[in-house]
Amino acid sequence: MISSVELVNFISHFDTKLEFDNDTTVFVGKNGAGKSTIIDAITFALFGEHTRGSNRDLLKRGTNQGYVKAEFSANGKNYQALRKINSKGELVLAQLSENIDGNIRTIAEGERKQFGDHMSKQVEKILGVDYKKLKIASVVQQNELRTIINSTGKDFKEILNTIIGIDGLDIASKSMGKLQSEFRSHVQGKFGYDDTHIHLIEDKITEYENESKNAKPRLEQLVIEKKKTEELISNLEKEIQTNASKESQLKELDLRKNELISYARDVIKSIQREVSEKEQTVNECKPCFEISRNKEELEFGINKIQKNLVSIESELSELEKKQARYEEKEELAAQLELKDGKCPVCKSNVDHLDPDFQKEHIENEIEEIKEKIEELENERGILLEKSENLSDDLEESKEAATILKTHKITEKSQLEEMITEIKIKTKQIQKIPITVSSGQLVDAGTLDDHAKSLYENITILEKSTEDFNHGEFLEMQESLSGYKSKQSQIDQEYGEISGNIKKMNSELENLHTVLVELKQVHGYMIELEEISNNVYKRDGPVGQGLRSWSLDVISQKASSYLEQLSAKILRISLSEINTKIKISCHSRNETREISTLSGGERVSVALALRLGMSELLGASNLNFMIFDEPTDSLDSERKILLGDILSKLTNIQNENSRIQFLIITHEPQIFNNTTVENIYKCEESEKGTVVTRL
């Protein structure tokens, strides 16, 4: 039972304290007056849950802190639940206490949900329900009674499913679906397939088996072709090996021919160079013998001229000195001329001067000297010219001697021998032109012993290879290359086919293994699907069984309430037909559908069914029920009937099964002619909601 609720700065209430007894308590007032806030206060105090947007919406505008406190009893014990919030909507205090003879003892404090240690958990243990279950079992929402009264059967089934928690089966069904999906994903990750691919794998197995079967005839054909090709290759290799030595000899023959031709050309060029050099020697040395013989005579003539030139040079030197002396005397004689028969020096009388001091005599002497000098110089020029000519002839003679010495020629007979040798070699090379060809090998072989040896070797090789057909040999080699290429293609194709067969066999083995595993998986999935359909589907056997049992319990409990209400309907029986819940109402004489009942009977049946549903869930250890606007959508007659029936329920409950009713409504008149006494009115004021007892 709820003993009291205290609201301070909570939504529209600034300071409200309500105390409840074990009877029915009704809260009336206009919409927005704060009636439903009392329900939020109770659920927030107990579980920290409410129907508002956020905790910030719980705090009264203009205030910094608020709290709610609910006192309640359960299982013979008294408790107090207190929660405080600040201006940010943050929970600053959550405390559950037990009242033992006026002493308050804290049981739980805080909401450390991550550690599994919080106040709401302790409240759940005490009440035996959590917030979600309490709302279903103990709070009758707006229009819920109307839905039961006017039920088509399908809507009532959904209400029943919600109350008995069939949606838990939906969650379990989704979990099962998730489990199946995760299981399939695991199988897919392990094998690359899941059980939905069994037909695909079977098709692949058939495809691989057919491909392997179809590939084997081609493989056998390739084996036969390979054997034939290998035999052809073997025979050709033997023939080629037999002719390979002749081909080698043929190559050797070409080399030797080219060698002889090259050697002959080199020899001819060498002889030509030798002939040319000897002809040049003969031409250079032939005139040198005559020239070189005049050397001594020329040297004697030159020496003689040199001696005459020395004598002339000496005589010229003396004459030039003598001329110089006379020229000096000539200058002095001009000063020593007799004047008036007297000496120009001593002034003594003399008849004549010494001829050496006579100017005329001196001039004559000088003239004679000049003539003599001119004569000697002419003679010297003639001698120098002769000496120069003789020197040139001597130099030519020396060069001729040097040429002979260079060529090591000392006798004319040597030149004659060289001329004879030139004639012989010229006749020899005239037989073979400078451009020797293979058709002139016979002539080339006569050049010398080495050429002869090469020619003999060529003759032997030609005889050895005369029956060898090089064209046929090349054709054999080309054929061998073609057959080897074909063999390589056969090996490649054989390898590809055999590799594919091996790969397919490996894949087949793997697919067979996977197929066995997937068939087992498929079996598991079928079992899981059956479990899901039979156990977790809301319309499956378990869901139907649960509803069948629930319908029996609700029928019994509702019938018990109807009996206490002394209604004409004595018993209610609920049954599930297809997708609907059928409500059968039994009187003394007949069974009637709910649609045939009077307005009062319908309200009585609906209320009895809802109480039966609540009692099915245990209705929690609080033993209370909240009706939130139960008259909404009811007509006037049914509203009055509902008030009367609720009043009767309050009066007929015994102490052991007594239920505390909290009713939220904006229509207090429905309780005018009832025995309900605890009626409170909620009104708006400047400070907030004010609650007064009527």
* DSSP letters spanning 321-364: HHHHHHHHHHHHHHHS--BTTB-TTT--B-S---GGG-HHHHHH
- The secondary element (H helix, E strand) that includes residue 410 is none
**Which residues are 625's β-sheet partners?**
661
pLDDT the model gives residue 338: 61
Which residue did the predictor score with more confidence, 365 or 336?
365
Long-range interactions of 419-425: CB distance < 8 A, separation 24+: 419/282, 421/278, 422/275, 422/278, 422/279, 422/282, 425/271, 425/274, 425/275
Domain spans of the chain, in order of start: 1-128+624-640+651-694, 288-408
Is there a contact between 215 and 500 (Cβ–Cβ < 8 Å)?
A: yes
CA-to-CA dists, residue 242 to 239, 344, 459, angstroms: 5, 139, 22
d(CA 107, CA 100): 12
Beta-strand ranges (E) seen in 111-237 are 111-112, 117-118, 139-140
Q: Are 440 and 432 a contacting pair, CB within 8 Å?
A: yes
Q: What is the pLDDT of residues 42-56, one digit of tens each?
A: 999 999 998 888 888
* Residue-level pLDDT at 619: 46
- The pLDDT score that the predictor gives to residue 651 is 66
What pLDDT, in 10s, does the model give residues 3-12?
999 999 999 9
Contact 404, 292 (CB under 8 A): yes
Q: What is the mean pLDDT of residues 668-678?
A: 81
Residues 6 or more apart whose Cβ sits within 8 Å of residue 355 = 361
pLDDT at res. 13: 93
In this prediction, residue 301 carries a pLDDT of 83
According to DSSP H, which parts of 128-197 are helical? 131-138, 144-149, 154-164, 167-191
The average pLDDT across 673-679 equals 82
State the DSSP H helix or E strand holding residue 351, giving kind and residue range, or none if neither.
none
Looking at per-residue pLDDT, the higher value among 293 and 214 belongs to 214
pLDDT, averaged across the chain: 82
pLDDT score of 461: 81
pLDDT tier at 82 (50, 70, 90 boundaries)?
Answer: very high
Is residue 80 predicted with pLDDT exceeding 90?
yes
Q: What is the mean pLDDT of residues 568-587?
A: 84
With the C-alpha atoms ordered 139, 142, 143, 149, is the resulting torsion angle positive or negative?
positive
In whole angstroms, give the CA distance from residue 314 to residue 347: 42
Q: Give SS3 for 2.
A: strand
How would residue 377 be classed by pLDDT, with cut points 50, 70 and 90?
confident
The 3-state secondary structure of 252-272 reads HHHHHHHHHHHHHHHHHHHHH
Give the other-Cβ count within 10 Å of 90's Cβ.
Answer: 10
| Positive or negative torsion for Cα 13, 19, 22, 23 | negative
What is the rounded average pLDDT of the residues 523-532?
87
Domain over 1-128+624-640+651-694 is classified CATH 3.30.450.20: no
Percentage of residues of the chain with pLDDT beyond 90: 17
Quote the Cα angle for 49-51-55, to 5°.
60
Q: Residues 463-480: pLDDT tens digits?
A: 877 777 778 888 888 988
| Burial 401-433, CB ≥16 within 10 A → b, else e | bebbeebebeeeebbeebeeebeeeeeebeebe
User: How large a percentage of the chain has pLDDT more than 70?
Assistant: 87
- 241-297 pLDDT per residue, tens: 877 777 788 888 888 888 888 887 888 888 888 888 888 888 888 877 777 777 777
In the numeric block, which tokens belong to residue 37? 């806030």
Greatest mean pLDDT among 407-411, 619-623, 633-637 lies in 407-411
**What is the CA angle 376-380-385, rounded to 5?**
155
Mapped onto helix, strand or coil, the DSSP state of residue 237 is: helix
- What are the beta bridge partners of residue 106? 97
Residue-level pLDDT at 63: 92
Mean pLDDT, range 475-488, rounded to an integer: 90
Task: Kindly indicate the confidence band of residue 690, based on its pLDDT and cuts at 50, 70 and 90.
Answer: very high
How many whole angstroms separate alpha carbon 162 and alpha carbon 613? Answer: 10
- Which pLDDT score, from 0 to 100, does residue 269 have? 84
Q: Give me the pLDDT at residue 69, please.
A: 96
Does pTM surpass 0.75?
no
In the structure, what pLDDT confidence band is assigned to residue 23 with cuts at 50, 70 and 90?
confident
What distance in Å separates the CA atoms of residue 636 and residue 618, rounded to the nearest whole number?
32
> 18: which strand partners?
5
pLDDT tens per residue across span 405-455: 888 888 888 888 888 888 888 887 776 654 445 555 666 667 778 888 888
